[in-house]
């Protein structure tokens, strides 16, 4: 099974241009016979929205998401967007397949330290939920969700086979090698202990002097990076997902069988 990791740059606040780019990469993924195309956090809007947030919020049942539903008859799609619901705004990620929304995840942990101001503009999501896809039990995280053990525990308890992390992660000045390694450590722990694949899809480019480093990758259930995108540039990366590797990893490290039934997803 072929997965397209679409490591893109975005234009802050320009829904139409960003959607055009997303459509271009979806078409490319279909041409390359991929079964899933994954885009970064807030792929339709850019990250540092601040007072632009209310002008780019989308109804999940509205026209723009509807056009992506039409494309999802050819390929599954995961991407981040600003969701507007009942006067509130959420940093959300949607999984679309066969014309339907399989899951809509609202970022549960909103950073409000350092350069981050998300909690000022967005409302928190309330849960982490696994859902069924052609890849098995799948869970969506958005960036900061990944750093909370409670999130990983929720995904683990629900028998996640495929963790998808959408990110708009900036690099640290003069410490370029540390931030990418941090993300690999997060995914390594989860993949090995839950016998699951992990896809990290990060954006690239600059906004208001803040640089996003890219470095997207797919990690197998043994904790090895299968394929990895370059740092600091836009890239379309195809990686192979082999469901048989999940069972092989469970045989090699049968951690789940010794958990309570709740954790073993029985």
Domains of the chain: 2-264 (3.60.110.10)
Residue 172 is predicted with a pLDDT of 66
199-to-35, 166, 183, 207, 219 alpha-carbon distances in Å: 14, 8, 10, 24, 6
**Is the pLDDT confidence value at 266 over 50?**
no
**Is the pLDDT confidence value at 29 over 70?**
yes
Share of the chain above pLDDT 70, in %: 95
**Is the pLDDT confidence value at 147 over 70?**
yes
pTM of the model: 0.95
Question: Is 204 or 178 the better-scoring residue by pLDDT?
Answer: 204
Q: pLDDT tens digits, residue range 60-109?
A: 999 999 999 999 999 999 999 999 999 999 999 999 999 999 999 999 99
């Amino acid at each position: 099974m072929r997965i397209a990791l679409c490591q893109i740059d975005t234009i802050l606040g320009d829904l139409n241009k960003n959607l055009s780019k997303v459509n271009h990469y979806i078409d490319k993924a279909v041409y390359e016979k991929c079964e899933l195309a994954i885009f970064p956090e807030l792929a339709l809007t850019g990250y540092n929205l601040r007072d632009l947030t209310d002008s780019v919020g989308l109804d999940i049942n509205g026209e723009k998401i509807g056009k992506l539903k039409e494309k999802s008859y050819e390929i599954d799609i995961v991407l981040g967007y600003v969701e507007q619901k009942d006067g509130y705004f959420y940093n959300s990620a949607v999984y679309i397949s066969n014309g339907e929304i399989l899951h809509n995840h609202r970022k549960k942990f909103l950073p409000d330290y350092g350069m981050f101001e998300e909690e000022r503009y967005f409302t928190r999501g309330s849960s982490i939920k696994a859902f069924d896809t052609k890849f098995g039990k799948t869970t969506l995280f958005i960036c900061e969700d990944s750093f909370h053990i409670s999130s990983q525990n929720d995904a683990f308890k629900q028998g996640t086979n495929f963790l998808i992390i959408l990110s708009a992660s900036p690099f640290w000045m003069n410490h370029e090698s540390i931030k990418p390694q941090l993300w690999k450590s997060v995914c390594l722990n989860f993949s090995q202990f839950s016998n699951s694949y992990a896809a990290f899809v990060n954006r690239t480019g600059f906004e208001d002097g803040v640089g996003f480093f890219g470095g997207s990758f797919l990690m197998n259930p043994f904790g090895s990076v299968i394929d990895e995108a370059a740092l600091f540039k836009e890239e379309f990366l195809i990686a192979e997902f082999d469901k048989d590797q999940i069972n092989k990893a469970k045989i090699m490290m049968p951690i789940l069988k010794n958990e309570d039934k709740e954790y073993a997803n029985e």
